Amino acid sequence: TSYGFKTVGPGEKQGLVNDVFHKVAKRYDIMNDLMSAGLHRAWKDGLVSWLNPSKRAGWHVLDVAGGTGDIGFRIVDASHGNARATVLDINGSMLSVGEERARKRGLADNVDFVEASAEELPFPDETFDAYTISFGIRNVPRIDVALSEAFRVLKPGGRFLCLEFSDVEMPILDKIYEKWSFEAIPRIGKMVTGDGEPYAYLVESIRKFPNQENFAAMISRAGFSRVSFRNYSGGISALHSGWKL
Ligand code: SAM
């Protein structure tokens, strides 16, 4: 199935992505639960436990495309409140929802929010102990640029972790998943937000994203060492890891 999205340049792609997340910001968290049937929670737990956040005070993680703050909050919680998280997103609407959630959770002192692009991080070299990005990198127009930026802002010894939809490698699951994503997801999107088109776009972007091995190779090309990945739910999503050594 194709929704006929033409090939677009980096600027145009970013414009489309921004429209999607401005429209859905307020309902983003509930949509996430509905569309992944709650699975995104387990996948995110997987990211946080692989990261194993340090309990050292001041340990600082940058969560890029952090949207409404989910990953940042989980990391601070897992560090027993010792870590700091900077949640960066290109979309002010998503960040506003995140800031409100941080206040309600009493995490405002540990989490800050920065509006910027993954392709141009407004931080000096070697600032962060870890860099995470969850369901964000496939939205970034120039993935190689985002990966080089990740490498640049990490301290030596820093960790890179990326959670993203990936290639389903199980014979029957792939058919079910295809039906779910191309038929159910835009329909749920339309029901909850009144517009199915943005979700059709997101599903299309999953299809275009490189598979596990190819994405691992891109991470290595950006300079990272010991690159590896694990699949979740038969490859519906994959978690990639790399180190700046
Ligand atoms: N990380 C959150 C999670 O896992 O629930 C949110 C993921 S949401 C699917 C994707 C996010 O990527 C959106 O908040 C969007 O604004 C952000 N985004 C898209 N392009 C970006 C860019 N170039 N730089 C930073 N964030 C970007």
How does pLDDT run across 216-229, given as a tens digit for each residue?
999 999 999 999 99
User: Do 142 and 115 meet the contact criterion of CB atoms below 8 Å apart?
Assistant: no
What are 231's two structure tokens?
């699949």
| pLDDT band at residue 7 using 50, 70 and 90 as cut-offs | low
Q: Any idea which of 124-128, 155-159, 175-179, 239-243 has the lowest mean pLDDT?
A: 175-179
How many A from CA of 89 to the centre of ligand 1?
Answer: 6
Q: How confident is the model at residue 27 (pLDDT cuts 50, 70, 90)?
A: confident
Give the largest Cα separation in the chain, rounded.
50
Picking from 77, 195, 208, the residue whose alpha carbon sits closest to that of residue 137 is 208
Fold of 10-243: Rossmann fold (3.40.50)
> Which residue of 93, 94, 123, 204 sits with most ligand 1 atoms within 8 Å of its CB, as the best mutation to test the pocket?
94
The whole-angstrom separation of Cα 59 and Cα 72 is 12
Residue 65 CA to ligand 1 centre (angstroms): 3
- The CA R_g of the chain, rounded to the nearest whole Å, is 17
Q: Among 45, 40, 122, 54, which Cα is nearest to 85's?
A: 54
- Is there an atom of ligand 1 within 6 Å of 129 CB? no
**pLDDT recorded at residue 4:** 43
Alpha helices by DSSP H, the chain:
10-24, 28-35, 39-51, 70-78, 92-105, 143-153, 171-179, 185-193, 197-208, 212-221
Asked whether 139 lines ligand 1 (CB < 6 A), one says: yes
Q: Give the model confidence (pLDDT) of 173-214 as tens digits.
A: 888 878 887 788 888 878 877 777 777 777 888 888 999 999
Q: Residue 78: which pLDDT band, with cuts at 50, 70 and 90?
A: very high
